[in-house]
Amino acid sequence: MTTIGRRPQTIAWLALVAALFFFPYFDTWPGFAWFLRNLEETTGLNLSVFEVTTFAVWLVILTGLNLLTGYSGQISLGHSALVAAGGYIAAILLDPDNSTEVPVAVAVLGAGLGACAIGFAIGVPALRLSGPYLAIATLALIVSLPQLLKLDNIAEWTGGASGINLPTPHAPSFLDGVVDDHQWLYYSVMFPAVIMTVLAWNLMRSRVGRAFIALRDSEIGAQQMGVNVALYKTLAFGLSALYAGVGGGLFAYQQQFVSPESFGVFQSIQLLVAVVIGGLASILGSILAAAFFTFQVGVIGRLTEVIPAVDRLRWAFYGVLLIVMMVSLPTGAAGLVRRLARLRLADVVSAWRSGDVGRAISSLRERPAVVRILGAPSMKQTPTMETKQGGDDRSD
Amino acid sequence: MLKLQDVHASYGPVLALRGVSLEVPKGGIATVLGANGAGKSSTLRAISGLLHPSSGVIELDGQRIDRLQPERIVRLGISQVPEGRQIFTDFTVGENLRLGAYARNDRDGVRRDLERVFSYFPVLRERRGQTAGLLSGGEQQMLAIGRALMARPRVLLLDEPSLGLAPLVVREIFRIIKAINEEEGLTTLLVEQDASLALGVAQHGYVLETGSVVLHDSAENLRRDDSVRRSYLGF
Amino acid sequence: MDEFEEFAQQVVTGASIGSIYAIVALAIVMIYRSTSVVNFAQGELAMFTTFISWSFIQSLDYFWASFALTILVAFFLGGALEVLVMRPVEQAPHLNSIVVTLGLLAVFNSLAFWRYGPVPRAFPKPEILSGDPITVGSVTISQLNLGIIVIALLIMAALFGLFNYTKLGLAMRATAQNPVASRLVGINVSRMLALGWALSAAVGAIGGMLTAASLTLSVDMMVAILIFAFAGAVLGGLDSPAGAIVGGLGVGILQALAGNYISSQVDIMAAFVIIIAVLMLRPTGLFGRRVVRRV
């Protein structure tokens, strides 16, 4: 699939793992610290250990969303609600005001399982709902969520409008001096995040992933191919809810705070924007989505200092980005990366070197990947007769 | 009446028609044969304006139509019975037929043509008020043909009318197609996978292979042609 | 006030707010009926055009002229949106168009926020409807609310007439059902789709302006209303204008009753419950047509 050899690939992976593992210690090297500071001052990109930990939290959440919307094609605006569920479950379990001392891992796991149960519960009625109806129902869910969280009857647990505050997590005593609090936070969040991402990647390459994609492309078609639609649709909801719940739990743990304002319809849209930009139906897409989601805050903030209007126009920017992506690049940044990787640049480069620029350009233009991006050369391209119903019209 | 000259058309990067040329004389009935993917449906789509040719000429009675929008081409007198019928499943039979006459303004003419369609397809009159989606496959095909006729076309295009239908039903439909052509002198171009059926009603035939015409002759000669018999007639 | 009168009052109050839901629901049904797309940006588009009407009123100082002008602006804005933004994803799976409308939601919310800021503004009531409330027994209804109910019914009648008794309406319905077949009978599908959006935006603008006249004009005013409108549209049937009215009014009345007899804290949740219940029990809604499909 790629043109890079086996050995360089393994080395690249090992380098990546090493970078992830030692990242919290990079800033002890003054050169890197200087680089980070300047990066933030100029572009607003905040690559501190805490922010990268935040990235890991959203990675879990967005991977879950991608499983549901990207792979399985279900538009659910309720993902944010499941994240909230996970966050609140973990927060309640970790709240020092409540009696028992619950270890963080248990709390996060509990959050995941709780949200997963809710997800399966949503999945069952969702079986009967097709695209737009599901979106409507989940939109109603997410808009009513803040109201639910502020209800007087349960405010005792949820903290009502002010939410729940959690104590700062500390590294266990035997690691004192080896890791500081932020570094400990990084490891305790990044580790499960990486595991869950790898798990998702494997799962999507297995039969489950194929079933999800069949489900997305055509429920009726999938059924006729022998895919148990009910099972996989429910599984999609449950699985994505698990990720949302774990992500929500990690969110509560890391941010040390949950409130009704932390979640809502605009966050749901923001999550959707992120996965669309990152790339639907792609684990790489989820990673890019999490990167976008986390780091754009800083970049937009920086931009606002230069152009004040940006602050209020932030959502217009996201909206336009979403629309443009849907129209021109539905596979997102990950799709672009995949297409560029398929471009065999070696031939083009050699043609360039031999001075034959014209031939290099035309050979580049004819590459299937480029054709797919830019359309067939010198052929008039017009919309075809493909319809949403009526099956496959491309028989001849 | 209907003429295609060296028509090229593609779906994005995929070339579907590579220089198709064919001609249907006024009042005649011709057929386009070929395997799946040969370009038969694409030819009809190009004629109806649903697929824009990248080069070549399409003429209706001497007038060029290859750059026109489908809405315009319908009003010039070309009606297509598309592949898979494409009826309006949520409307009644009557509404479907009336929609066929959408482009027309002559109320009396439309009423008369409705009667004529019912006389060709009595079952449609019976099922006039029924939702079209509930009809059987054969009835839907008749409805699709009837709808196309309601436009009072000068040229009728049919895309694989036999698809998915029982042999008895298909024979009946083809009998009616031939009757329409003879009684009204309606120029007809028929795309079909079932070659023997098509050559039974057509006067002239074109064989398409990967987007170009490889053979064309009178239907009678094609029926006797060895290569055609082997490839398409199962001999 | 005895129990029955209190109940009647709640019904009347509920019908008042419900008629706004009904108008927005009509806009939703309009787009769904003509393009098979659910427009999540409906509320924000209505809000945005209402702010435009506010600008008109500031400069023209004449309510009905601004009203009419805004409807016209909304009409063309809706048509433009269809041609420029929705057309490219027309051929793609439904998921794409839903996502695009969510993008539009964000865009219009943000544009309004940028241009007009977070402070709510007073929106003038039209002269005719500013008089004293009308009283029947001990049940009162303001003239404005009565006017809104009447307008909602008028719009519904107009749309109903359009869809069922005109050739244009038939063409729009046909386009939503089967664009290919529609083109083959000579319908200009592009024009029908644009028209669907244009009309929907116009109706939405009316809903927005009436909302502002009833409450205050603010950037967030349509968010909750959109949910209730969706509940009404789903309840009545996504493809039925009559259903939108019945559904919208029904949701408004149920909301008033729930708020009065249970608790005002649960009204949005109540809408959610309504939506779920309808979708589980009778997905096509009260008046929607059952979709027939032979696989």
Query: Among candidates A228, A240, A263, which has minimal Cα distance to A91?
Result: A263
- In tens, the pLDDT along B15-42 reads 888 888 999 988 889 999 888 778 888 9
The answer to whether the Cβ–Cβ distance between B13 and A380 falls below 8 Å is: no
- The helix/strand/coil state of C140 is strand
According to the model, what pLDDT value does residue C202 have?
94
The share of chain C scoring above pLDDT 70, in percent, equals 96
Average of per-residue pLDDT across B188-212: 87
- Chain C, nearest residue to B144 by Cα: C181
Beta bridge partners of C139: C136
pLDDT at residue C108 above 80?
Answer: yes
Average pLDDT of the residues of chain A: 78
Q: List the single range of A241-245, A254-258, A339-343, C167-171 with lowest mean pLDDT.
A: A339-343
Query: Which residues on chain A are in Cβ contact (under 8 Å) with C114?
Result: 309, 312-313, 316
Partner-chain residue, chosen from B79, B103, B133, that has the shortest CB–CB distance to C294: B133
pLDDT for the residue B209? 86
| Contact by Cβ (8 Å): B41, B159 | yes
Which residue do the tokens 């047509």 mark?
A: C289
Whole-model pTM over 0.90: no
User: What does the pLDDT read at residue A345?
Assistant: 61
Look up residue A67 and give its DSSP letter: I
Does C78 have pLDDT greater than 90? Answer: yes
| Average pLDDT score over residue span A179-205 | 87
pLDDT tens string A319-338:
888 888 888 877 888 888 87
B210 touches chain A (CB under 8 A): no
Query: What's the rounded Cα separation, in Å, for the pair B45 and B40?
Result: 9
Comparing alpha-carbon positions, the chain C residue that sits nearest to A268 is C102
- The CATH number of B2-77+153-233 is 3.40.50.300
Smallest Cβ distance to A394: which of B11, B40, B84?
A: B11
Residue-wise pLDDT tens digits, C249-262: 998 888 888 777 77
Local structure of C134: helix, strand or coil? strand
Q: Where is pLDDT greater, at B191 or A171?
A: B191
Say if the Cβ atoms of C177 and B91 lie within 8 Å.
Answer: yes
pLDDT at residue A384 in the model: 36
> How far apart, in whole angstroms, are the C-alpha atoms of residue B36 and residue B58?
23
* A380 interface with B at CB cutoff 8 Å: yes
A98-109 pLDDT per residue, tens: 767 778 888 889
Report d(CA A382, CA B98) in Å as an integer: 30
Q: What is the mean pLDDT of chain C?
A: 85
Q: Is the dihedral of CA A222, A226, A229, A231 positive or negative?
A: negative
Q: Does A29 have pLDDT greater than 90? A: no
CA distances C171 to B230, C20, C168, Å, are: 47, 28, 5
Distance, in Å, from the CA atom of A133 to the CA atom of A139, rounded to the nearest integer, reads: 10
pLDDT at residue C267 above 80? no
**What percent of chain A is modeled with pLDDT above 70?**
84
Residue bearing tokens 């009052």 = C9
Q: Is the pLDDT of residue C292 over 50?
A: no
Q: How far is C295 from chain A (nearest CA, A)?
A: 8
Closest-CA residue to A118 (of A84, A91, A157): A84
State the amino acid at position C192 in one-letter form. M
User: Per-residue pLDDT tens for B34-64?
Assistant: 887 788 889 999 999 988 888 889 998 888 8
**pLDDT number for residue B235:** 54
pLDDT at A385: 35
Instruction: Give the dihedral of Cα atoms C65, C67, C73, C77; nearest 10 deg.
Output: 180
Cβ contact (<8 Å) for C103 and A326? Answer: yes
For B21, half-sphere exposure in the C-beta direction (CA atoms, 13 angstrom radius) is 7
Are B83 and A381 in contact (CB < 8 Å)? Answer: no
Which residue in C36, C107, C295 is closest to A319 by CB distance?
C107
Measured between beta carbons, which residues in chain C are less than 8 angstroms from residue A75? 95, 98-99
What's the mean pLDDT when you consider all of chain B?
88
Place A376 in a pLDDT band, splitting at 50, 70 and 90. very low
Give the pLDDT confidence score for residue C51 in this predicted structure: 92
Place of tokens 């980070």: A36
Q: Are C272 and A141 in contact (CB under 8 A)?
A: yes
pLDDT bin (cut points 50, 70, 90) of residue A363 is: low
More confident residue, A152 or C15: C15
Give the closest-approach CA distance of A26 to chain C in angstroms: 38
Instruction: Give yes or no for a contact between A145 and A81, defined as CB atoms under 8 angstroms apart.
Output: yes
Give residue A224's pLDDT band: very low, low, confident or very high (50, 70, 90).
confident
Mean pLDDT of A199-221: 85
Segment A123-134 mean pLDDT: 77
User: Which residues of chain A neighbour B15 with C-beta distances below 8 Å?
Assistant: 379
B33 touches chain C (CB under 8 A): no
Highest mean pLDDT: which of B204-208, B214-218, C31-35? B204-208
Q: What ipTM does this complex have? A: 0.88
A372: which chain B residues are within 8 Å (Cβ-Cβ)?
13
**Facing residue for C95 by CB, picked from A75, A129, A309:** A75
pLDDT for A346 equals 58
Q: Is 80 exceeded by the pLDDT of residue A155?
A: no
The encoded tokens of residue C62 equal: 């004449």
Count the Cβ atoms, other than its own, within 10 Å of residue A384: 18
pLDDT band at A159 (very low <50, low <70, confident <90, very high): confident
Instruction: Write down the domain spans for chain B.
Output: 2-77+153-233, 88-151
Within an 8 Å CB–CB cutoff, is residue C289 touching chain B? yes
Judge whether residue C294 has pLDDT over 60. Answer: no
Separation of alpha carbons C43 and C225, rounded Å = 7
Interface of A with B in 350-379 (CB under 8 A): 368, 371-372, 375-376, 379
Q: What is the pLDDT of residues B93-104, one digit of tens each?
A: 999 999 999 988
Q: Are strands A164-165 and A257-258 parallel, antiparallel or unpaired?
A: antiparallel
Q: Do C187 and B95 touch (CB under 8 A)?
A: no
- How close is the nearest chain A Cα to the Cα of C87, in Å? 9
Euclidean distance between CA atoms B66 and B8, whole angstroms: 11
Could you give the CA distance from residue A306 to residue A288 in angstroms, rounded to a whole number? 26
* Of A38-42, A133-137, C29-33, highest mean pLDDT: C29-33
What pLDDT, on the 0 to 100 scale, is given for residue A242?
93
CA distance C67 to C87: 29
What was the pLDDT predicted at A5?
63
DSSP labels, B186-234: -EEEEE-S-HHHHHHH-SEEEEEETTEEEEEEEHHHHHH-HHHHHHHS-
DSSP character string of chain B: -EEEEEEEEEETTEEEEEEEEEEE-TT-EEEEEE-TTSSHHHHHHHHHTSS--SEEEEEETTEE-TTS-HHHHHHHTEEEE-TT----TTSBHHHHHHHHTTT---HHHHHHHHHHHHHH-HHHHHTTTSBGGGS-HHHHHHHHHHHHHTT--SEEEEE-TTTT--HHHHHHHHHHHHHHHHHH--EEEEE-S-HHHHHHH-SEEEEEETTEEEEEEEHHHHHH-HHHHHHHS--
Size of interface A-B (CB pairs under 8 A): 46
DSSP secondary-structure letter at A100?
A: S
- State whether B134 and C291 contact (CB < 8 Å): no
Determine the distance from the C-alpha atom of residue A365 to the mean position of all C-alpha atoms in its chain, rounded to a whole number. 33
- Distance between CA C210 and CA C148 in Å, rounded? 7
Nearest CA distance, C2 vs chain B (angstrom):
49
The reported pLDDT for the residue numbered A358 is 59
CA dihedral over C44, C48, C49, C50, signed as positive or negative: positive
